[in-house]
Amino acid sequence: MPDQTTNAVATKVKEGVRAHVVGRTEVIDMMLASLITGGHVLLEGPPGVGKTTLAKSFAGAISGTFKRIQLTPDLLPADIIGTSIYDISKKEFVPRKGPIFSNIVMADEFNRASPRTQSAFLEVMQERQVTIDLVTHHLPEPFMVIATQVPEDTGGIYPITLTQIDRFAVKLEMDLPTHEEEDEILRDIDRIERGDYQLANGAKASNVETKEILHLTDGLEHILVSDGVRRYILQLVDGARKNSSLSGMPSPRASIWLLKLSRAVAMLAGRSYVLPDDVKFVALPVLIHRITPSVPERRLAGQSAVEQAKQLITKLLDETAVPKE
């Protein structure tokens, strides 16, 4: 059950992130929920809105390690997971671990990498391990991949396959800041760039330890999901699968992440049980990248794939009966 320790840890993490990031409350909440459930994040938005700063701040707030990998067409899997090198002193090959061995890994411009290099993330994101010369190496915990994408209308990209994109628990969007938020960024830019963990009231933000995040993860299984809420999750996913205007359907991972993230949201709210509102809160980021509107439907509506997917999810939430138990 959630306790004062749970609330204290969550508050410290959020304060640590907000010491460097202005606004983005819902994005921060969903990233924290993803972290404690072991999920990965697809983070999208125009250049310069602070995606890298957000990822780096998360690592700092949990006293974790951070690595940023700039994916390019000539990048190889070994550049990510590592390789074996010959140690003359030992007269044997020893593993040289790649940047993937970090708590928070930012895979920048994921879809610029070749399919071969993208596939290096499959084992990493699912099993939390890598294989170097037939030897398995486990990744540090907690572990989260935060990936960004180049817009589809940009040349020289390799679209992420449905198999790969399904590995991401959520897709989050960072829009341009409001006028007030951008003004606050300008006022605090010197402190932000120095990396000072200072709050708006002048107090210094204190980081948590990675083991405290793992403690939150261990507590998730004690968050109750009633039969009614579980059926509600299944009805939402089933409703999406029955929609004739879709060419891509959500897999069972969609149901799993709706349940896991709803638990995390309930825990962070200080509750020991999940409400239908928790499911609604996570529905859009969980389903948005798992729903693919068909091309004829998009052309008929005159909308982008993302806009139509949002509309379909909103309609699905409105039409699905909410459990009363």
Check whether residue 238 and residue 157 sit in a common domain.
no
Written as one string, the DSSP assignment of 119-157 is: THHHHHHHHSEEEETTEEEEPPSS-EEEE----TTSSS-
Check whether residue 185 and residue 49 sit in a common domain.
yes
Report the chain's C-alpha Rg in angstroms: 20
pLDDT of residue 86: 82
Region of residue 38 (phi > 0: left; psi between -120 and 50: alpha; otherwise: beta): left
pLDDT-derived band at 72, boundaries 50, 70, 90: very high
pLDDT of residue 1: 55
39-50 mean pLDDT: 91
Say which amino acid occupies 31: M
pLDDT above 90 covers what percent of the chain? Answer: 46
CA distances from 169 to 61, 285, 297 (A): 21, 8, 26
Phi, psi of 310 (to 5 degrees): -60, -45
pLDDT of residue 190: 81
Check whether residue 261 and residue 145 sit in a common domain.
no
Distance CA 15, CA 11 (A): 6
pLDDT of residue 203: 47
Contact status, residue 178 vs residue 23, Cβ threshold 8 Å: yes
Check whether residue 121 and residue 78 sit in a common domain.
yes
Does residue 254 lie in a domain region?
Answer: yes
Check whether residue 247 and residue 104 sit in a common domain.
no
Out of 87-101, 117-131, 190-204, the most confident range is 117-131
Task: Answer yes or no: is pLDDT of 322 > 70.
Answer: yes
Check whether residue 255 and residue 182 sit in a common domain.
no
Contact status, residue 241 vs residue 292, Cβ threshold 8 Å: no
Answer with the one of 194, 211, 242 that is the final residue of a domain. 194
More confident residue, 205 or 51: 51
Q: Tens digit of pLDDT for each residue in 206-240?
A: 678 888 899 899 989 999 999 999 999 999 999 88
Does residue 136 lie in a domain region?
Answer: yes
Check whether residue 160 and residue 85 sit in a common domain.
yes
Domain of residue 142, residue span: 4-194
Burial 257-274 (b: 16+ CB within 10 A, else e): bbbbbbbbbbbbbebeeb
pLDDT of residue 70: 94
Q: What is the mean pLDDT of the chain?
A: 86
Say which amino acid occupies 190: D
Check whether residue 13 and residue 146 sit in a common domain.
yes
pLDDT of residue 231: 95
Distance CA 63, CA 42 (A): 22
178-204 mean pLDDT: 71
Does residue 39 lie in a domain region?
Answer: yes
pLDDT-derived band at 195, boundaries 50, 70, 90: low
Indicate which CATH number applies to the domain containing 250: 1.10.8.80
- Which secondary structure element, helix H or strand E, spans residue 219, and what is its range? helix 210-219
Task: Answer yes or no: is pLDDT of 204 > 80.
Answer: no
Check whether residue 13 and residue 140 sit in a common domain.
yes
Does residue 205 lie in a domain region?
Answer: no
- Which secondary structure element, helix H or strand E, spans residue 35, and what is its range? helix 25-37
Distance CA 77, CA 98 (A): 9
Q: Tens digit of pLDDT for each residue in 102-143?
A: 999 999 999 999 999 998 898 899 899 998 888 889 999 999
pLDDT of residue 33: 95
Task: Answer yes or no: is pLDDT of 5 > 80.
Answer: no
Phi, psi of 164 (to 5 degrees): -70, -45
More confident residue, 287 or 295: 287
Distance CA 315, CA 85 (A): 55
pLDDT above 70 covers what percent of the chain? Answer: 89
Say which amino acid occupies 276: P
**Do you know the residue count of the chain?**
325
CA atoms within 13 A on the CB side of 3: 7
Name the burial class of residue 286, with classes exposed (0-12), middle (13-18) and buried (19+) by CB atoms within 10 angstroms of its CB.
Answer: buried
Task: Answer yes or no: is pLDDT of 32 > 90.
Answer: yes
Does residue 269 lie in a domain region?
Answer: yes
Does residue 202 lie in a domain region?
Answer: no
189-199 mean pLDDT: 66
Indicate which CATH number applies to the domain containing 92: 3.40.50.300
pLDDT of residue 301: 59
Report how many domains make up the chain: 2
pLDDT-derived band at 201, boundaries 50, 70, 90: very low
Say which amino acid occupies 85: I
Q: Tens digit of pLDDT for each residue in 234-290?
A: 999 998 888 766 766 788 999 999 999 999 999 999 899 999 999 999 999 999 998
Per DSSP bridges, beta strands 41-44 and 170-173 are parallel
Check whether residue 285 and residue 161 sit in a common domain.
no
Check whether residue 8 and residue 140 sit in a common domain.
yes
Does residue 292 lie in a domain region?
Answer: yes
Does residue 216 lie in a domain region?
Answer: no
pLDDT of residue 135: 85
Check whether residue 232 and residue 145 sit in a common domain.
no
Angle subtended at Cα 23 by Cα 17 and Cα 29, rounded to the nearest 5 degrees: 60
